[in-house]
A and B are shown apart, each in its own frame.
Chain A
Amino acid sequence: MYGYQEELLDHYQFPRNRKVISHPTVQAQEVNPSCGDMISIMLLIIEGVITDIGFEGKGCIISQATASLLSESCKGKSVSEVSAYNYKTIESLIKMPLGPNRMRCALISLEALKAALEHYKLSS
């Protein structure tokens, strides 16, 4: 579609890790209040490493494709490594410029991920 990268559209149409993890170590959900988009992230963490990740959600191409891209990027990485993810990480994953309002769509999966990691740190 006009203006969207092929890779992004591919992740929207064929999302990676869109699945439920039955016994996650932690999970968290975030919502974009301006449109109701939602991302729920589940992490399986073994000895400080994200060994599996699953997400569910509904919303626009940007929010859902970013969740898919982010999930691929997290898998196999340590909690401390992923805790350092920020706005710039998301920008480099989606490879397209977004204004601050639209960027909120891309950031909800990062916020869900960060919230899940906070739960993990508090519980471990």
Chain B
Amino acid sequence: MKCVFIRGISMIKKSDFPVFHHVPNSFAYLDNASTTFVPQQVVDALTDYYTHPYTNVHRGIYNLAEETTIQYEQIRKEVATFINAREKSEVVFTKGTTDGLNMAARLLVPFINKGDEILITQAEHHAHFVTWQQIALEKGAHLRIIPVNPSSYTITNSCYDSLISSRTKVVAVTASSNVFPALWGPESLYLWDLLKKANAVNAFTVIDGAQYIPHMALQLEDMSIDFCAFSTHKMGGPTGLGILYIRKRLHDCLMPVQFGGGMIFSVTNEESKWARSPQRFEAGTPPIAQVKAFGALLKYWKEKGSYKKLSSHYQELMCQLYEGLQALGMVIYAPHTDIYEGHVLSWSVPQLHAHDAAHVLGMQGCYVRAGDHCAQPLHHALRMPATLRASFFWYTTREDIEHLLSSLEYLLTHSKGL
């Protein structure tokens, strides 16, 4: 049965993104889980920053330096509002998700003892999986891995109920997979359930929000999340900038893991004292231009974006893609359902390696990812081959999906007999 949708009317248009002014019509970019294009406002903010007198932040006391600091801190406040944090001191600027997840893990190292358990999922990106694997090895802790159901490609309570206990010190999980569209079930139901159970056993909670924050609203405070990391370049913002949310109640007991200018309260020959959060966790000159550009992106989203409309738009695209792939006989790594969620879908072409398929699709102006998507443990556990992955962003259209499906049809016709 075909899915029927009331189409979400979004004010976001491809023409807002200057990249699309410079590419042919036959260009379908479907690798947005990797990185996204930026709207003109972000480009303008970067240009504006570098073409006007600028300074460092938190250092100079002349007018210009004060103004730069005020603007930088204003954007921190806007980020806090965007992610529903209680206050701006909970927002730490980092280099990206990987940097943020590594920092969160290092900040928690002093609390982890031999024999403690660290709970992650089988679906973690290497940035999260390897980080905790290495800390477990270093500290003599046990890494417990929540399996993914091999037929539904989801995690439900039966996957983790027996793994969470009073021995669990950290629950470190992705909020949204970069391989499967609805890892935690409808509306991420089981993620919230797991977080509740983590809180009940006083475990620290770390969320990889790289694939969630750009597409869905997250109530960080309501969910009692301790850490959440994401990147701005996966949501129409600049590269080189990420956000690490750190829950306020932890600020004073976390020892900084990077040292340098800007994070100091006082230094003597014998000892140092730290500034309060967020400065405590931002050693050295931060990516000021990128922060300003992200501020422009948040303004753009506030004016034109809506998670509700986005969700409806993605459901429509996902339905079109799923049914199209199914009609072409693809092996899809997601179950058939009435309501399609998420922004990523992975599949393989029978008898054809993902790299060959992606190569030929690329020659036809259709850009999808091929490989293990930085999730080798997941591919091994589910015995999945290298897969193809299409991922959406705010500007993805039905025409992009049509382009992909017709290119795949062409590929199938021309690869017969191989």
Contact A1 B360 (CB under 8 A): yes
- Could you mark each residue 311-336 of chain B with 1 if its beta carbon is under 8 Å from any beta carbon of chain A, else 0? 00000000000000000000000000
Contacts of B366-389 to chain A: CB distance below 8 A: 370-372, 376, 379, 385-386
Task: Across the interface, name the chain B residue whose C-beta is closest to A33.
Answer: B376
Closest Cβ of chain B: how far from A8's Cβ, in Å?
A: 11
Closest Cβ of chain A: how far from B358's Cβ, in Å?
A: 9
How many chain A residues touch B (Cβ–Cβ < 8 Å)? 19
Q: B7 at interface (Cβ–Cβ under 8 A)?
A: no
Contact A61 B353 (CB under 8 A): yes
How many chain B residues touch A (Cβ–Cβ < 8 Å)? 21
State the CA gap A47–B411 with chains docked (Å): 47
> Which residues of B lie under 8 Å from residue A36 when comparing CB positions?
372, 376, 379, 385-386
> Which residues of A lie under 8 Å from residue B410 when comparing CB positions?
2
State the CA gap A97–B379 with chains docked (Å): 29
> Which residues of B lie under 8 Å from residue A59 when comparing CB positions?
353, 355
Q: B356 at interface (Cβ–Cβ under 8 A)?
A: yes
Q: Which residue from A3, A9, A13, A60 sits with its C-beta under 8 Å from B353? A: A60
Q: A105 at interface (Cβ–Cβ under 8 A)?
A: yes
Take A59-B353, A60-B355 as given contacts and tell me if A2 and B363 are in contact as well, using a CB distance cutoff of 8 Å.
Answer: yes
Task: Across the interface, name the chain A residue whose C-beta is closest to B373.
Answer: A34
Q: B171 at interface (Cβ–Cβ under 8 A)?
A: no
Q: B354 at interface (Cβ–Cβ under 8 A)?
A: yes
State the CA gap A36–B372 with chains docked (Å): 8
Task: Across the interface, name the chain A residue whose C-beta is closest to B370.
Answer: A35
State the CA gap A63–B418 with chains docked (Å): 14
Contact B354 A2 (CB under 8 A): no
Take A35-B372, A59-B353, A60-B355 as given contacts and tell me if A2 and B418 are in contact as well, using a CB distance cutoff of 8 Å.
Answer: no
A-B pairs with lowest CB-CB distance, top 10: A60-B353, A35-B386, A60-B355, A34-B371, A61-B356, A35-B371, A3-B363, A60-B356, A1-B415, A1-B414
- Hey, which bits of chain A sit against chain B, CB under 8 A? 1-4, 9, 12-13, 33-37, 59-63, 102, 105
